Structure 1
């Protein structure tokens, strides 16, 4: 998925905060995307600072065994409605 987005534009992000407790790690980060010409031709549009929360649970060997993901879609720009 990352290779796809990098092929159609520039994806950046920054970690706002990270919390670890017992077998869980929580990241709250913001993602931005700027489409290139190929992305624009596909109808992709720029997004800036979309909040995302990921929760990871690790087993005793340190491997990720569960992931919960939440993207705050209300902050995404909405495409214009189709012509009537």
Structure 2
């Protein structure tokens, strides 16, 4: 999940794939709640693995400019939901 001050985007990284499941909240804030994130993951067919917690980091667009906009990034390990 990420935002650069605009809308929040949640995406499931699928290694080796060119297209990933994604969702966009059309709001810059507040940060989507854990409940909202779980609901979106479920709608995309995924869930956090048991015991997984969200971790947060930040990046900037231009590493040579400390005034560059900050990109907030959150991640959690997920698994595909398999219907029994």
TM-score, normalised with respect to structure 2: 0.30
Which has the bigger relative contact order, CA under 8 A and spacing at least 6? 2
TM-score, normalised with respect to structure 1: 0.30
- Bigger strand fraction: 1
